[in-house]
Amino acid sequence: MAMTWQEKAIERLLFLIALSAVTVLILITVFIFRGGWPILAKVGVGKFVSGLKWAPSRGVFGILPMIAGSLWVTIGALIVGVPLGVACAVFLAEIAPPRVGAFVKPAIELLAGIPSVVYGFMGLVILVPFVRTVFGGPGFSVLAAAIVLGIMILPTVVSISYDAIRSVPRVYREGMYSLGATRWQTISMVILPAARSGILASVILGMGRAIGETMAVIMVAGNATLIPRSPLDPVRTLTSNIALEMGYAAGDHRTALFATGIVLFVIIAILNLIARRVLTGGVRR
């Protein structure tokens, strides 16, 4: 059947919109790499990534402490947020009455709309003094940042895990119940394994959300350019380093911050590729 001119116009418009999104991504990538590559070529990628000291005023550019800080904070956020998020998704999808799920799930998703500075302020006022009083240390620490980020990734983990669990065919549940299995046996032995790819995707996307967060981390992490040795040590992440110093950086210092952005861009791109791989694998199964 031949397309009308209206359909052709809409098709071309949608193609241009999709092309514009890809073009913006390409321009951002070119902008970041163009700004940061000179210092990588000058210092060396290996030395830049593995360097232990960050002293731009002396021409020393090593971002390993920031990479380690980002990993510490991100892993801590996953430890806090993933068990809580998956448990919440299981409760809403399999145990809670429909009315409760219809109220609680949108409420959790609303957490994604709260500005990160609000999370940071709450962490600064409540969490940092609590960590300082209970565990000791300055309070500004990996632990404080991990708890804040763990709460921030909850909407991502809960929403995607909930959809994955609900997409498990009902016949799986009925088959287990017909064999005399309990609800918990059905959830643990059938539903969670069947929804594994979606749950893993939620974890990976939550990881990307955590590693890319800036403002809340700046407010509670302490921003020390040292490799943390315990959860109570202050830390600076890659995003915090860029946000804190870009306002006054110049010359090689500014270029090094762009190079930090390249490293962060590569890390997040890898996480997104892994998430896409996991989702594709889930669809094939």
Q: Where are the domains of the chain?
A: 71-237
Q: Are 197 and 285 in contact (CB under 8 A)?
A: yes
d(CA 132, CA 103): 36
Q: Which fold has domain 71-237?
A: MetI-like fold (1.10.3720)
Three-state secondary structure call for residue 96: coil
Band (283; pLDDT cuts 50, 70, 90): very low
d(CA 80, CA 146): 7
pLDDT in tens, 56-110: 888 888 899 999 999 999 999 999 999 999 999 999 888 888 888 888 888 888 8
Q: Are 237 and 227 in contact (CB under 8 A)?
A: no
Q: How many residues does the chain have?
A: 285
Looking up tokens 């302490």 gives 222
pLDDT in tens, 216-275: 999 999 888 888 888 999 999 999 999 888 888 888 899 999 999 999 888 888 877 876
Record the pTM. 0.84
